[in-house]
Chains A and B, each alone.
Chain A
Amino acid sequence: MLTVRLALQLALLATVIVSGLLIGLSQENLGLSAIGVIGSFVGFVVCDWRKWFSLRGGLANIASIAVLVLAMQGFVEGDGATKLICVSNLLVYLQVVLMFQQKNTRRNWQIMVLSLLQIVVAAIFNLNFEGGLLFILFFGLAGLTMILQSIETANTDVRTRNREAALALASGTGNAAAQPEKPVSVIDRMIEGVLGGRDKSGIGSGNPIAIFDAEPHQERTMPLIVRHLGFWLATCLAFAFLMFFFIPRNSEAWFGPLMVPTQPTGMSMKVDLNQRGKIEQTGERIFRVSFENSLTGEKLQLASPPYFRGTALGQLRIVDGRTSWTAPYDRVYPSVYRRTPELKPNSRRILQRFQMNPTDDPMIFSAMPAFSTPDTSQEIEFCYEVSALTRRQENDRIEKTPFRYELMTRVGPNNEPLEAWPFTSLGYMRGESLERSPGDIEWLTYLDEERYPALVDTAAGLASGFADDERYEMCRRMETFFQLSQDFSYTLDFTDVQWNEGLDPVEDFFVNHKCGHCELYASALVLMLRSQGIPARLVVGYYSGIYDDENQYYVVRSDDAHAWVEAYLRPADCSDEMRREGAAGPGGAWLRLDPTPATELANRSSRENAIEIARNLWQEYVMGLDNQRGLTDRSGSMLGFTDLSAWTSGFESAAGEINNRPALRVGLLAAALFSVMFGVMRTVFGAFGGRKTSERKRRIKMIRNLVGNALGYISPGLKKWVIGVDPDEISTVFYKRLTSVLEEAGHKRAPAQTHREFAGEVGDHYSAHPDAETIDSTVNDLTDLFYSVRFGNADLPDEDRETVDDSISRLEAAIAKSSL
């Protein structure tokens, strides 16, 4: 049986578990969550459920001091975040100690407060969308716990008072069995003192003893509470969100104090083809980007999907007998970082505004070519050695918060992304060509031709028709070789592929399988280009993303990750048009080539789903809500409602619309008439207003009777139809029949007698009757049913009504036997 006390303990445990999970999630410290969850659960089992053990008095104090010392290590010398972590540890440990103690109203409240403080700390750190769901769950559970606590407090009061009264009654009536052997508490001693010399005789000043003979909340209360909890929670949430969005904000949103060391992770730094297509398809959002006309501020959608370039993996290595692409991080020094150049004011340019999700990765992305603006963060630099944009230099610590930055780029005349970009080397600013760096040329053309015989042969065949100065055309030919070939297809699923261990995976893909993902296509093309002496490298980044029409930005997720190729074009290989557009510079250009079949690639991109939308909303409108997104920022448009001219024009257009639709006109007329009648009724009779239901019901009944009686002159059926029968009377009519049956048998309920007492009295009266059991059970069952229908809002279906009628008939027959 789920009593209120047990329900309270369970709700409290659930609250504690959720708060433990939340505080761990906020710091990405699942160990802390585990301590909180497991400790609390064990405490509940040991102390509340099985009642094997509980920490008492001094022991609990010692345990509290011990956890204080344990949690506060490093508090003094730590930074703000460390101090907060110490505090959160302390909160969790103290809560576990409390869970091992005997529970009472006060202790339950202490546990609740600690949980609430944990939520405060978790909120100061950071919570992702899943954490946000737990946050709301916590709130629901905490609400339930508080409700149950409120009920249990009343129960406890009644129990205490009953105990006092029972003791007093036992003392007053001399019932030794009910009296404790010795006083066990202050209350007991007090009562014993008060009642010690009780004298029953006379009419002295002895006060009565009062006792509430019922557990206030029986088990049937629980479902009712849970049923109403949804309403309370929804109301609280609605209010909370309204308040949340209307509070004005003056600054950027806070994303927590945690700093994490940067570490190169993921495919952006290395492609080894070892995992053979294991592009992570988590759907996690990486960033969003909007393109704007830098002069007008107009948001733009590009004519073709943009490539958001990450880093170039130009270093070819053979690892475990397989082709592996890496960036030359071993050659990165502070001197190879440069701030991206700024564009000339008169050039055609597009502003890119990025917002990256919180990550500890220093790499950032951009459509190329990328240029700085005066508002571009000073943190952003271009590392020429790995050819990547970064927001911090390696080994720095970065804040784990959403990162916003803006960069300029150039697009074609129809807003299509450029096919090449000109920052070829450190010497670009000085107009130097890459060819002036023989070392770079050497490792960008490095190839072990014996590993890839088929690729090399094919490349040679494709290049045979092109002259040395037709490098651009040669590159495009090789790109289209993959794109247009019917033999090659795109897949991420290699489960049924039998790899030839004797061949390099790229060669194996090219010769045998001809199906693979972008890394294989890009690798193959790079190798083919290099076999023809063209410096080429594999580039990783993101392709396309999903354009959000409403918000006018691209949302890019992890499954939009892509690999493509950059081939070096010498200055002589670049056309005038490329130079004019800014795709090529004095040092040449990096030409983007994407051999992966485009149609297949487009299909690969995952679509929006509900969870992703919710994640975005959480990130944008909860975690990242700032003065730009808050509703108070739109006060201007809200004040627009006071503009009368706007209303007038609105009315005019609406009137025109109504005139054109006769059905609408009739409907509106009917609605207007009804409204007028309703208003008159309300004004005259007050029937549909008023605060008290009884008054309202009385008036409605009056009107109904008036109408019903008038119609009664025409037809009695109409009168019955209008006046009807009171639903309450219908539902409890069986009890009236029961009382009339009992009344005929000489049993009448005394006015001060409760229905149950009356049922008990009837049962006792027929205790010697041959059908005593039938009479007793029938009367008691019907009384219980009456209680549930009359006071418990329960319904009595028609089929049950028949059963009840049968029971009463049987009862009548049984009682009649005795009178024969």
Chain B
Amino acid sequence: MLGEPVEQRTSRLKLRMTAEGVAFLVILAFVSVGAVLRSVNLLILLAGMMCAPLLLNWRSQIHVMSSLVFRRHLSQYVHAGSLTPVQWECENEGSRLNAWNIVVEDSTRNITDIEPGKKINRKKNGTRATVVFPQVAINRSGFVSYRTYFEKRGIYEFGPAVVATTFPFGLMRSTIRLTDIETVIVAPELGRLSHSWDRRLESIALGSEANRRRRGVQEDEFYALRTWRSGDSKRHIHWRSTAKYGTPMIRQHDQKTNRDLAVVIDLRSTGSAIENERCERALSFAATVFAGLGSAVKGQVTLAICCDEKIVISERYHPETVAQVMRCLGTVKIGTWAMNVNDPLIETIITANGLVSNGTPLFVVSPRDEASGCGHWTSDNTRLNSTMSMVHWLEVDSKQFSMMFEPSNPQEQKKIDALSEKWMADANR
């Protein structure tokens, strides 16, 4: 999801001589003085010729730089572990000169740990990215982008950026500071869900569908006939058409997908690196599940996170809901509490269960095993017991979970490796 690009506010144009410009000026002064003192015509001509680039450099830079408008196109959220493009747009609103060789130096930094209101030293902190607009014609826009690799989820800010050019002669450097700061939420890295997860989700869905059918609810609608494929149920064969066409034909139904999904993340950690890593894996799993929902789930989507505080998001499926989930996953902090303190997970599960329709399974993703997680929960409360019956416990370290979810996408990794090799080769060329 991209936010609308905002026209960047600009500071006053600053002009200064480059080192080359200073050397040029010294030679020019020497030539001018000699020329005037001795009336050496060729030196006067040379002085004039040397003045011209200086003035041209000065005037063209002022004209061009004051005619440019910049916009940064940035996603609202991105995922860690992938190369994300950050696009810069430069619009030349001038009427006379094309803009050449405009260098934009953007800066980006992780501000997750920085407390609100605390001053950030933006000059020292962060990574700098340089992009160059080779040419932006009059009344046209140029687009260039750089890629950003976020290793960790969190909150990152972009800006301020500095636009500079030394074009055409490199004797002066004019700069404009684009003061707007934009933030982007980096959601956990996307992994890869195996067919095991698909089957599990499907079987649960079919179960709930069967329940509904038993209740007399028929939500599928006939969509079309198609040829039989391996794996199709024999029950769906349309025998009359099969006899007519001489090949097995299948009734295809447009399946209603407004089923619900509820995922509960247990972010319980004692603060050790191993447990933190498990929690991150749980978050990555949740991010992957929600990112891949697509048209599979169009009912109520619920994410409940149990950390230092209870976070619950429950909305009808919508891309904005997914964005909200991703923002939450990107910024949530792992909770640390002692074992003897009351476990808030149960309360979180109950809350989540109350937000989805009956029969919707609750996937609890936890770094703990089921026994230590919810095995000791006993109650006479029937509501709690029925809730617990819907819980599907997914322990992050279990073999079952590993078969279901691969924390990083090998294809993405391969792509990054190939690109880094290419860039390294280009840089060393």
Comparing A214-222, A568-576, A608-616, the segment that makes contact with chain B is A214-222
A160 contacts B53, C-beta separation under 8 Å: no
Spot the interface stretch: B164-172, B242-250, B320-328, B370-378: B164-172
Binary B-proximity of A155-170 (CB < 8 A = 1, otherwise 0): 1011111110111011
- List residues of chain B with CB within 8 A of the CB of A216: 101, 131-134
A253, B27: Cβ atoms under 8 Å? no
Q: Pick the contact of B423 from A113, A166, A240, A752 — CB < 8 Å?
A: A166
Q: B39 near A239 (CB under 8 angstroms)? A: no
For chain A residues 198-237, which have a beta carbon within 8 Å of chain B?
Answer: 198-218, 221, 224-225, 228, 232, 235-237
Picked from A175, A253, A695, the residue with its CB within 8 Å of the CB of B39 is: A253
- A624 engages B56 (CB within 8 Å): no
Q: Which of B7-57 contact A (CB under 8 A)?
A: 20, 23, 27, 30-31, 34, 36, 38-49, 51-53, 55-56
Residue of A with least CB distance to B51: A243
Q: Tell me whether B129 and A212 are in contact (CB under 8 A).
A: yes
Set of chain B residues within 8 Å of A175, measured between Cβ atoms: 416-417, 420-421
In the complex with contacts A113-B27, A211-B423, A752-B75, A240-B51 CB distance below 8 A = yes
Question: Are A159 and B427 neighbours in the complex by a CB distance under 8 Å?
Answer: yes
Which residues from 199 to 252 on chain B have a C-beta closer than 8 Å to any C-beta of chain A?
Answer: none
Tell me which residues across on chain B come within 8 A of A228, comparing CB atoms.
Answer: 98
Is residue B144 within 8 Å, beta carbon to beta carbon, of the partner chain? yes
Question: Known contacts A178-B417, A202-B152, A212-B130; is A236 also within 8 Å of B49 by CB?
Answer: yes
* Chain B residues within 8 Å of A149, by CB: 20, 170
B126 touches A123 (CB 8 A): no
Instruction: Contact check, B426 vs A162: say whether CB atoms are below 8 A apart.
Output: yes
Which residues of the partner chain B approach A126 to less than 8 Å between Cβ atoms? 42
**Is A752 touching B43 in the complex (CB atoms < 8 A)?**
no
Are A150 and B166 interface neighbours, CB within 8 A? Answer: yes
**In the complex, A217→B135 CA distance in Å?**
9
Q: How far is the CA of A691 from the CA of B97 in the complex (A)?
A: 12
Q: Does residue B258 face the partner (Cβ distance < 8 Å to A)?
A: no
A237 to B131 alpha-carbon distance, docked (Å):
33
A623–B147 Cα distance when bound, in Å, is: 57
Complex CA gap A691/B2 in Å reads: 32
Q: Does B95 contact A (CB under 8 A)?
A: yes
Specify which of A122, A155, A207 is in contact with B125 (CB 8 Å cutoff). A207
A contacts with B: majority SS: helix
Decide yes or no whether B381 CB sits under 8 A from chain A.
Answer: no
Number of interface residues of B (CB under 8 A): 104
Q: Which one of B135, B137, B420 lies within 8 Å of A166 (CB-CB)?
A: B420
Residue of A whose beta carbon sits closest to that of B429 = A159
| Neighbouring B residues of A242 by C-beta, 8 Å | 48
Chain A residues 51-97 with CB under 8 Å of chain B are none
Give the chain B neighbours of A694 by CB distance below 8 A: 91, 93, 139
Q: How far is the CB of A111 from chain B (nearest CB, A)?
A: 12
Q: Which residues of B contact A147 (CB under 8 A)?
A: 167-170
Decide yes or no whether B198 CB sits under 8 A from chain A.
no
* Contact A158 B132, beta carbon cutoff 8 Å: yes
Q: Would you call A161 and B129 a contact (CB within 8 A)? A: yes
Known: A170-B424, A216-B134. A232 touches B143 (CB 8 A): no
Is B87 part of the binding interface, using a Cβ–Cβ cutoff of 8 Å? yes
Give the distance to chain A from B221, nearest Cβ to Cβ, in Å: 21
Q: Are A210 and B103 in contact (CB under 8 A)?
A: no
Query: Which of B23, B36, B41 has most chain A Cβ within 10 Å?
Result: B41
| Interface flags, B327-361, vs A, CB<8A=1, else 0 | 00011011000000000000000000000000000
Smallest distance from the beta carbon of A503 to chain B beta carbons, Å?
A: 54
Given contacts A163-B427, A210-B147, A254-B39, are A146 and B333 in contact (CB under 8 A)? no
Our pick among B42, B135, B139 for the contact of A224 (Cβ within 8 Å) is B135
A124 to B34, CA, bound (A): 9
Please, how many angstroms separate the alpha-carbon atoms of A198 and B152 in the complex? 11
Top 9 closest pairs, chain A to chain B, by CB: A210-B129, A163-B427, A216-B132, A150-B170, A240-B48, A123-B42, A751-B2, A236-B52, A243-B48
Can you give 13 A-B contacts (C-beta < 8 A)?
A: A157-B130, A178-B423, A202-B277, A202-B280, A204-B152, A208-B127, A208-B156, A210-B108, A212-B129, A622-B45, A693-B138, A751-B75, A752-B84
Given contacts A208-B108, A254-B41, A791-B141, 8 further A-B contacts (CB under 8 A): A109-B20, A178-B420, A204-B154, A208-B151, A211-B148, A213-B423, A691-B94, A752-B87
Identify the B interface with A (CB < 8 A). Answer: 1-2, 20, 23, 27, 30-31, 34, 36, 38-49, 51-53, 55-56, 67, 73-75, 81, 84-87, 91, 93-95, 98, 100-101, 103, 106, 108-110, 112-113, 125-135, 137-154, 156, 166-171, 273, 276-277, 280, 330-331, 333-334, 413, 416-417, 419-421, 423-424, 426-428
